[in-house]
């Protein structure tokens, strides 16, 4: 797809804004004159600051001034009548700059990016679904779904967009280069000197994929495709079987334990697997957003990934114990894993089998940890009870000896 770089920028900025509720803090200026703040509603303090990094649901830097650079990300970001001494980095769902003067560059990304009024910057670099520019800059570089230029560019304007509109008030003194699927709409009143246009076919990569699919449908390369899928299936069957043999050797007791557990504690194990499979990634993401627990999130994500990698081999080897209880453990594992791996080749059904296998292993691990915790608590209760009985016995003996001494 075209303009993948724009999608990556937007994804990163929106992901940052999603982390805001966990990062909430007060807006304070540190000893270096900088502000580092995040929260639901974030604004710059009234006093002049050197630089700032702001993240929040709504970030407002209206009427403020910074000597250095400012970075802001959020659901909505607005800057009105603002002065920035260096560069401004801003991103979010809705970005609005009005009458904002930036001595450096403006780097903006969002669903809608609007720069209006007397907004000024050395260079403006913007990416978004809808970008509107009506300020003044020495250079304009935009990647967008739709772009409207209604301002002055004292230099070059490099455009990569699906739709481009240049209004009556537009002034471009340098080169205007447009890369689009259709001709831009340029007003006769607009002052444009050096203009060049490069037509781009829509969704070139998609067309290439359709062309390859068409060739395959007409019989060209079908044998190669079948052979490729067959070799891939054979490779994964061998790899999973080898991994299953290793599991039998190292974790044979757990394979038998999982088979017994799914028979005796069917519902708890299934529920644990489903809930764990769905909630662990979300929990890891939330922990990652808290920064201080980022290492814990990393370890949790790593453990989850390892479980997913081992899910099919573990489930095949374990369930084979349940189906073939008297068969050699390695042979039963070979059969179980081979069957699941063959089924996994089938579209849709294979995906469901893979997910079920992962849930099987995750459910077993969660139940094993839970049962272990309950047993530990039971042992602690017993030890406390024994200790209390011994204490009572000692007190009784002491009293008896004291009574004997008095007599």
pLDDT tens, residue by residue, 171-192: 999 999 998 888 899 998 999 9
**Cα dihedral sign, 17-22-26-29:** negative
Beta strand 70-80 with 51-60 is parallel
Q: For the ranges 56-60, 232-236, 311-315, which has the lowest average pLDDT?
A: 232-236
What digits encode the pLDDT tens for the residues 68-96? 888 888 788 898 899 999 999 888 888 99
Rounded Cα gap, residues 115 and 234, in angstroms = 57
95 has which bridge partners? Answer: 77, 113
What digits encode the pLDDT tens for the residues 297-331? 778 878 888 888 888 888 888 888 888 888 877 88
pTM: 0.48
How confident is the model at residue 90, as a pLDDT? 87
Q: Which residues contact 327 (CB under 8 A, 6 or more apart)?
A: 320, 335
- C-beta of residue 9 within 8 angstroms of C-beta of residue 91: yes
Rounded Cα gap, residues 8 and 120, in angstroms = 27
Name the burial class of residue 210, with classes exposed (0-12), middle (13-18) and buried (19+) by CB atoms within 10 angstroms of its CB: exposed
Report which of 302, 315, 306 is spatially closest to residue 354, judged by C-alpha positions.
Answer: 315
């Amino acid at each position: 797809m075209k303009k993948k770089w724009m999608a990556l920028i937007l994804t990163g900025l929106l992901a940052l804004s999603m982390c805001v509720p966990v990062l909430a803090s007060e807006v304070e200026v540190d000893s270096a004159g900088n502000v580092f703040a995040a929260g639901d509603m974030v604004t710059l303090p009234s006093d002049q600051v050197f630089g700032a990094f702001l993240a929040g649901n709504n970030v407002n830097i209206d009427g403020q001034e910074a000597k250095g650079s400012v970075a802001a990300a959020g659901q909505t970001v607005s800057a009105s009548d603002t002065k920035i001494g260096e560069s401004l980095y801003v991103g979010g769902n809705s970005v609005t700059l009005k009458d904002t003067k930036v001595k450096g560059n403006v780097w903006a990304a969002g669903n809608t990016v609007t720069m209006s009024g007397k907004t000024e910057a050395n260079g403006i670099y913007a990416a978004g679904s809808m970008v509107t520019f009506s300020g003044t800059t020495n250079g304009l570089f935009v990647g967008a779904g739709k772009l409207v230029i209604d301002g002055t560019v004292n230099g070059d304007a490099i455009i990569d967009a699906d739709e481009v509109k240049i209004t009556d008030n537009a002034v471009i003194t340098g080169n205007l280069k447009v890369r689009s699927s259709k001709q831009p709409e340029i007003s006769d009143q607009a002052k444009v000197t050096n203009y060049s246009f490069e037509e781009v076919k829509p969704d070139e990569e998609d067309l290439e994929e359709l062309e390859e699919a068409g060739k395959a449908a007409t019989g060209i390369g079908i044998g190669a495709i079948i052979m490729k899928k067959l070799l891939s299936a054979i490779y994964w069957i061998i790899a999973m079987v080898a991994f299953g043999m290793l599991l039998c050797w190292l974790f044979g007791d757990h394979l038998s334990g999982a088979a017994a557990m799914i028979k005796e504690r069917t519902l708890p194990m299934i529920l644990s697997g489903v809930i764990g499979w769905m909630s662990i990634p979300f929990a890891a993401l939330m922990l990652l957003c808290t920064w201080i627990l980022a290492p814990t999130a990393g370890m949790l994500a790593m453990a989850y990934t390892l479980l997913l990698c081992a899910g099919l081999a573990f489930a095949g080897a374990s369930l084979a114990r349940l189906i073939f209880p008297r068969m050699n453990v390695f042979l039963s594992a070979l059969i179980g894993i081979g069957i699941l791996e063959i089924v996994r080749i089938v579209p849709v059904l294979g995906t469901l089998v893979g997910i079920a296998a992962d849930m099987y292993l995750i459910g077993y691990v969660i139940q094993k940890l839970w049962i272990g915790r309950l047993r530990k608590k039971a042992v602690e209760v017993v030890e406390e009870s024994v200790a209390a009985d011994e204490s009572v016995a000692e007190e009784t003996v002491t009293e008896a000896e004291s009574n004997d001494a008095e007599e």
